């Protein structure tokens, strides 16, 4: 029998990274030597002290039962301590922190809690695709806020039409930004808070890359901004900070009403984060080895960025140096669209990248490079690109 998928699924664009993976696997199957700089999945291992803690946690039989949807009190308290130490932000672990099965899960489910049919969600363009997927599945309407290089890749809130603002219920922002690598200052966050207060809009800030930064720069938390908790929440994750992408643990913090809304959705969909992983999360956030790991990781990515930025000069790609994230957002020289260049890079150079257009219309003219390969591999990728596109 031929079963039809729902109209909501039909309205979803193909998931970009699944498409990239298909093209990559085809090339590998054909015997090609591929350097994958497409998906933002750290090649660095999870720190040993985290893995060792997981081995012990698995032996604790109390972790084997259904977890609470609200999460372990110890983990929520650790998040609160980390926020206080890292950002000087006070959070109530009882009602202002919600553990998530990775922040992606929370991002995708949040619109289900607050968006009705025809409600508008303000989404940066280009962006992390689940902002759009979650909105579409909730029945909402997407309004794209262009992130332009001449505006520092920050959305210009004054350019959003009043008719759109009047229907908007939720806004996603993301700094340090995926894919552009841009960062935001407190002045921008203050504008966002004022805009949200005036128009009764929930702000959801995705801070997954706050610990991937360089040369002493420390990204800000949206929750550091005055009155931010009155309108907003912040997503965070251990995925990028501790190379735990496969472990699936993150959290949402901030406005307690928003957190309660998401908790209600999650209570009807999942059974919470595996308790053993939450116990590991406590150690990751509180052990001094965690700070040591972050410093080493930052140094590695900084060196990798230098290899690519310097190496890609005088090629078809102009890599824009960033203060944070392990991405490079590269403008394309000449009249070549990003999809076509991505195909050529794979076919001629054996290098996988992400086309800017796949992350949103404003991404056309750019490609994204993930620094998730060794320096030697990155140098090889540079040499191949120079050979064919210098």
Task: Provide the pLDDT for residue 22.
Answer: 81
Asked whether the beta carbons of 340 and 384 are under 8 A apart, the reply is: no
Binned at pLDDT 50, 70 and 90, residue 121 comes out as: very high
What's the topology of domain 49-287?
3.40.640
Q: What is the pLDDT of residues 145-164, one digit of tens each?
A: 999 999 999 999 999 999 99
Choose which CATH entry (3.40.50.2000, 3.90.1150.10, 2.120.10.30, 3.40.1390.20) describes domain 7-46+290-389: 3.90.1150.10
The contacts of residue 260 (CB under 8 Å, 6+ apart) are 95
Express each pLDDT in 207-217 by its tens digit.
999 999 999 99
Using DSSP, state whether 319 is helix, strand or coil.
strand
pLDDT of residue 254: 98
What average pLDDT does this structure show over 230-251? 97
Q: Are 11 and 136 in contact (CB under 8 A)?
A: yes
Q: Strands of 109-189 (E only): list them.
A: 120-125, 141-146, 168-174
pLDDT at 29: 86
Token pair for 107: 């991002």
Q: pLDDT tens digit string along 175-199?
A: 999 999 999 999 999 999 999 999 9
Per-residue pLDDT at 26 exceeds 90: no
* CA dihedral sign of residues 137, 141, 143, 144: positive
Mean pLDDT estimate for the chain: 95
pLDDT at residue 17 in the model: 67
Report the distance separating Cα 347 and Cα 236, nearest Å.
36
Using DSSP, state whether 64 is helix, strand or coil. Answer: helix
Distance, CA of 107 to CA of 262 (rounded, Å): 10
Tens of pLDDT, residues 255-298: 999 999 999 999 999 999 999 999 999 999 999 999 999 999 99
pLDDT digits (tens, 9 = 90+) for 309-329: 999 999 999 999 999 999 999
Give the pLDDT of residue 39: 87
Q: Are 180 and 153 in contact (CB under 8 A)?
A: yes
Q: Where are the domains of the chain?
A: 7-46+290-389, 49-287
pTM score of the predicted model: 0.96
Structure tokens at 138: 């909730």
The Cα–Cα gap between 390 and 383 comes to 9
Would you say the CATH fold of 49-287 matches that of 7-46+290-389?
Answer: no
């Amino acid at each position: 029998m031929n079963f039809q998928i729902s109209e909501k699924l039909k309205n979803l664009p193909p998931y970009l990274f699944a498409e990239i993976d298909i093209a990559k696997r085809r090339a590998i199957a054909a015997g090609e030597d591929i350097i994958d700089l497409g998906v933002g999945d750290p090649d660095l291992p999870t720190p040993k002290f985290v893995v060792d803690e997981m081995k012990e946690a698995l032996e604790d039989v109390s972790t084997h039962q259904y977890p609470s949807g609200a999460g372990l009190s110890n983990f929520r308290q650790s998040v609160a301590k980390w926020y206080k130490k890292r950002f000087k932000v006070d959070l109530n672990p009882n009602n202002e922190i919600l553990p998530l099965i990775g922040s992606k899960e929370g991002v995708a489910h949040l619109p289900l809690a607050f968006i009705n049919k025809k409600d508008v969600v303000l989404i940066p363009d280009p962006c992390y695709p689940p902002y759009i997927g979650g909105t579409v599945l909730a029945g909402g309407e997407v309004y794209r806020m262009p992130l332009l290089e001449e505006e520092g890749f920050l959305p210009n809130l004054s350019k959003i039409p009043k008719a759109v603002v009047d229907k908007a219920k939720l806004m996603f922002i993301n700094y340090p930004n995926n894919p552009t690598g841009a960062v935001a200052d407190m002045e921008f966050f203050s504008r966002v808070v004022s805009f949200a207060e005036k128009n009764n809009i929930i702000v959801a800030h995705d801070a997954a890359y706050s610990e991937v930064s360089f040369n002493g720069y420390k990204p800000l938390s949206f929750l550091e901004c005055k009155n931010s908790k009155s309108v907003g929440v912040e997503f965070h994750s251990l995925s990028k900070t501790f190379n735990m992408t496969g472990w699936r643990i993150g959290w949402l913090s901030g406005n307690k009403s928003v957190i309660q809304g998401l908790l209600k959705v999650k209570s009807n969909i999942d059974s919470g984060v595996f308790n053993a992983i939450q116990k590991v999360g406590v150690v990751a956030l509180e052990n001094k080895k965690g700070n040591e790991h972050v410093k080493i990781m930052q140094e590695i990515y900084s060196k990798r960025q230098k290899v690519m930025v310097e190496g890609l000069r005088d090629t078809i790609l102009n890599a824009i140096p960033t203060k944070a994230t392990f991405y490079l957002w590269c403008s394309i020289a000449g009249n070549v669209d990003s999809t076509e260049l991505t195909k050529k890079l794979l076919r001629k150079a054996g290098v996988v990248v992400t086309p800017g257009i796949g992350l949103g219309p404003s991404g056309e003219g750019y490609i994204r490079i993930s620094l998730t390969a060794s320096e030697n591999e990155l140098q090889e990728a540079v040499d191949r690109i120079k050979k064919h596109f210098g």
